[in-house]
Amino acid sequence: MSTLETLEILSRDAQYDLACACGTKKGDDHRKRGTDGGWLYPVTVPGGGSGIMLKTLMTNSCSSDCRYCPLRKDQDTRRVALQPEKLARFFMDIQSRRKLIGLFLSSGILDTPDRTMQMLIDTARILRRHYSYRGYIHIKIIPGASREAIREAVSLSHAVSLNIETPGEKHFSLLSRTKSYMEDIINPLKYLSQITGPEGPYRRVSKTTQFIVGASHESDRDILRYMWRLYKNLGLNRIYFSAYQQGLGDSSIPGEQRDISSTDQVFMREHRLYQADFLVRSYGFSFDDFIFDQGHLSLEEDPKLVWARSHPEYFPLNVQQAGKAELLRVPGLGPAMVKRIMAARKVQTLKDLSDAEIPAHLARKALGYVRFT
C-alpha cells in the first residue's frame, strides 16, 4: 500500500481522537452530521477534505480492548501503519503545498505503550531535527507510557493530551479490561502536570484531556466534578468532551444499551458540558454553581441561565456600578460584552445596553437581570 493510501485510512480513523480543537468558526472545520446519522469530523487527508491541522494515527492496529472504540483489538477492520520517516516526509510535502497550523499525532497501541510512543516521538524528532520544523506539534500520550517516554514527547511538542475517558475507575472498568485507570491514566496525568506546571521544565507546553460522554452510565455531575478537580489540581489547559456514538462499541457497554430517542439529545448533552466548561474557564463559575436535575444539566436551557433563574436575589444588577465578576453572571453578557460595558460607563451614564453597543439579541437576554439606576 502506498503512503497516500495508508494516510487516507489513518487520517480518517483519527476522527475518534478529538483532544484538540478543530476550529474556532463555523464552517468546514467543524463537525457535521452525515446522511447516515453518523458524525463527520474535519481532517486533512491526501485526497482532499477539510481541516486546518493534519490529524493522523501512526497505526490503527491496537492491542487494547477499549470497548467504546471502533478500532479495539477484536474488531475486523483493515489494519495499517506508517513509519515515522514516511509520515514526516509527507507532512512536510503537504505543508509546502497547503498551509496547515500543525500536526496532531495519535495512534492505536502497537504491542506496548512505549513502543507506540517511540513511533510518535521519532516522527516529531525527525520533523524538528531533520526538517527544522518549528511549527505546532500535538502528541497524544499513550495510556501506560513510561515517564521517560512522556518527558521526551513533551520536549518535542507544543501540546500533549492524555484522555481520561471517564470520571472515575468505576465507569472506566466498564469500558476496558486491559488498562488500569490509576496506573495508566491518572498517574501519567499527574506527571504531566508536574513537568508542565508553573515550576516545571516544560511549562510552555499545553496539556489537555477528553471525556467520552455516554459510553458508561456517568452523570453530568460526575463529569463536571472531575473536570473541576482536573483544572484546580492538575492545571490542565483545556478539557474536551466527545459524545459517544451508538453502534461503534461493544454491545454490552451501558452506552449501547441506553434507549436514545434522538441524536439531538446526545449532541445537546455534549454542548451543555462545553458551556459549563466555558463558564469555569472564562466566567468565574465553580462546580458548586451548577444546578443538576437527577445528576444532569438541563437540555432545554444553558447552565448560566439556569443559575440566574435560581438566584433571583442576585438580580437586577446595577449596570453602572456592578463589577466584572457580577456582570458575567448576567444572561447574554460574555467577557467581550462586559468589557464594552465597563469601557462605556467610564465616559457616560448608561441608560440602556445599546449605549455600550450590546447587540439587541443579547440585550433581550439580559432583560430583567439588569437595571440602570
- Residues 187-220: tens digit of each pLDDT: 999 999 999 999 999 999 999 999 999 999 999 9
Q: How many domains does the chain have?
A: 2
Please identify, among 258, 288, 323, the residue that sits at the C-terminal boundary of a domain: 258
**DSSP assignment of 306-352, as one string?**
HHHHT-GGG-SEETTT--HHHHTTSTT--HHHHHHHHHHTTTS--SS
Q: What number is the average pLDDT over the span 317-336?
A: 97
Q: Which pLDDT belongs to residue 106? A: 92
> What phi and psi, each to the nearest 5 degrees, are found at residue 243?
-65, 130
- CA distances to 50, 169, 297 from 172, rounded to whole Å, are 33, 5, 22
- Residues 75-112: tens digit of each pLDDT: 777 888 889 999 999 889 888 876 677 888 999 999 89
Query: Hey, which residues does 210 pair with through a beta bridge?
Result: 240
Q: If DSSP codes are grouped into helix, strand and coil, which group holds residue 185?
A: helix
Pair 248, 165 in one domain:
yes
Omega cis (within 30) before 198: no
Q: What is the CATH number of the domain that holds 78?
A: 3.20.20.70
Structural domain contains residue 269:
no
Pair 364, 247 in one domain:
no
Q: Which pLDDT belongs to residue 88? A: 95
Pair 180, 326 in one domain:
no
Q: What number is the average pLDDT over the span 29-42?
A: 48
Q: Which pLDDT belongs to residue 127? A: 98
CA angle (313 as vertex; 282, 323 as ends), nearest 5: 40
**Residue 361 banded pLDDT, cuts 50, 70, 90:** very high
Q: What number is the average pLDDT over the span 280-296?
A: 97
Q: Using the predicted structure, report yes or no on whether residue 373 has a pLDDT greater than 60.
A: yes
What is the domain extent for residue 28?
A: 3-258
**Residue 17 banded pLDDT, cuts 50, 70, 90:** low
Q: Which pLDDT belongs to residue 32? A: 52
- Look-up of cell digits 452506552: 255
CB 249, CB 255: distance < 8 Å? yes
Helices assigned H by DSSP within the chain: 3-13, 84-97, 113-125, 147-155, 169-172, 187-196, 220-234, 254-257, 263-282, 303-309, 324-327, 335-344, 360-366
Q: What number is the average pLDDT over the span 161-189?
A: 95
Q: Which pLDDT belongs to residue 52? A: 64
Q: Which pLDDT belongs to residue 75? A: 79
Pair 30, 145 in one domain:
yes
Structural domain contains residue 110:
yes
Pair 45, 164 in one domain:
yes
Q: Which pLDDT belongs to residue 53? A: 73
pTM of the model: 0.88
Q: Which pLDDT belongs to residue 8? A: 77
Q: If DSSP codes are grouped into helix, strand and coil, which group holds residue 217?
A: coil
How far apart CA 240 and CA 159 sit, in angstroms, is 14
Q: Using the predicted structure, report yes or no on whether residue 247 has a pLDDT greater than 60.
A: yes
- Look-up of cell digits 444539566: 297
**Residue 249 banded pLDDT, cuts 50, 70, 90:** confident
In this structure, of 5-14, 277-286, 303-312, the range with the lowest mean pLDDT score is: 5-14
Please identify, among 213, 234, 258, the residue that sits at the C-terminal boundary of a domain: 258
**DSSP assignment of 116-133, as one string?**
HHHHHHHHHHIIIIIS--
CB 167, CB 287: distance < 8 Å? no
Structural domain contains residue 213:
yes
Q: Using the predicted structure, report yes or no on whether residue 240 has a pLDDT greater than 80.
A: yes
Q: What is the CATH number of the domain that holds 342?
A: 1.10.150
164, 165, 167, 168 alpha-carbon torsion, rounded to 10°: -80
Pair 34, 181 in one domain:
yes
Q: Which pLDDT belongs to residue 122? A: 98
Structural domain contains residue 247:
yes
**Residue 54 banded pLDDT, cuts 50, 70, 90:** confident
Q: Which pLDDT belongs to residue 294? A: 96
Q: Which pLDDT belongs to residue 352? A: 94
| Average pLDDT score, the chain | 88
